[in-house]
């Protein structure tokens, strides 16, 4: 009898390469460059509700979400908590400091689900960006897009009606991670009314009131533990 072929055991580096080659920051790197890039990356794991870092004491660096869900939180001057962004697998977050160019304002990151990230320190990312300028350019474009997204969120909170803000969040989640099933769009996230309130700058009571009314009107459903959009067109009508 011949010897059975044994599958090659994947190393942590192999797992990193398999993942990051799908991340847009690194999609232009060849296999040798990817192998070099993962040397700068470290896996970190967090349980549900763990904090990755706090706004006031966070160190600069880049995080790439491998699995799970993370929310980026900002505290306002009047004590309110706002979710400025939900981070999904493949997304990049964090920031880089160079010399005296340090951000005056950052945010807190918290795991909504059990999550795994790849972390690159500030120093290592700068070294990586110097070697591969395309990575630095894409990171700059990412940072710009995220900044504009945060600006739109804050502008909406300041001026938009609460129904419009909640509808916009639900539609964005539907476009990003929604699954079509039996004519509905299912948002498979364990979002609480507190999360919806923090994403739209309103109170929990208001979020409950609005979503309960939409449920009675047959626009959404929340009975199965997830939010289901039944009538997308009605939500779109609320957007200005």
User: What's the confidence (pLDDT) of residue 201?
Assistant: 85
User: What's the confidence (pLDDT) of residue 1?
Assistant: 46
Closest alpha carbon to 124 in 135, 114, 116: 135
CA 185 remoteness from chain centre:
20
Q: Residue-wise over 104-114: b if at least 16 C-beta within 10 A, else e?
A: eebbbbbbbee
| 18 phi and psi angles, rounded to 5 deg | -60, -35
User: What's the confidence (pLDDT) of residue 151?
Assistant: 66
User: What's the confidence (pLDDT) of residue 157?
Assistant: 65
User: What's the confidence (pLDDT) of residue 235?
Assistant: 95
Per-10-residue mean pLDDT, the chain, length 240: 58 88 88 91 95 84 92 82 88 84 77 94 91 86 77 67 91 91 90 89 93 96 88 90
| 172 phi and psi angles, rounded to 5 deg | -65, -40
Does this model's pTM top 0.95?
Answer: no
User: What's the confidence (pLDDT) of residue 141?
Assistant: 84
User: What's the confidence (pLDDT) of residue 117?
Assistant: 96
User: What's the confidence (pLDDT) of residue 224?
Assistant: 75
């Amino acid at each position: 009898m011949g010897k059975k072929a044994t599958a090659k055991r994947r190393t942590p580096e192999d797992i990193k390469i398999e993942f990051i080659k799908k991340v847009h920051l690194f999609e232009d790197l060849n296999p040798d460059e990817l192998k070099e890039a993962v040397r700068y990356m470290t896996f970190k794991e967090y349980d549900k509700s763990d904090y990755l870092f706090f706004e006031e004491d966070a160190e600069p660096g880049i995080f790439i979400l491998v699995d799970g869900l993370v929310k980026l939180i900002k505290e306002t001057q009047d004590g309110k908590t706002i979710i400025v962004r939900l981070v999904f697998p493949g997304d990049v977050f964090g920031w880089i400091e160079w010399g005296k160019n340090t951000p005056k304002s950052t945010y807190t990151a918290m795991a909504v689900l059990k999550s795994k990230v790849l972390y690159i320190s500030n120093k290592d990312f700068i070294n990586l960006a110097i070697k591969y300028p395309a990575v630095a350019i894409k990171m700059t474009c990412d940072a710009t897009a995220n900044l504009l997204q945060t600006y739109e969120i804050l502008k909406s909170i300041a001026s938009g009606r609460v129904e419009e803000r909640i509808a916009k969040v639900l539609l964005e989640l539907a476009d990003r991670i929604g699954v079509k099933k039996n004519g509905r769009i299912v948002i498979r996230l364990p979002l609480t009314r507190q999360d919806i309130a923090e994403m739209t700058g309103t109170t929990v009571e208001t979020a409950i009131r609005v979503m309960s009314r939409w449920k009675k009107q047959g626009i959404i459903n929340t009975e199965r533990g997830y939010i289901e959009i039944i009538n997308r067109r009605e939500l779109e009508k609320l957007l200005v």
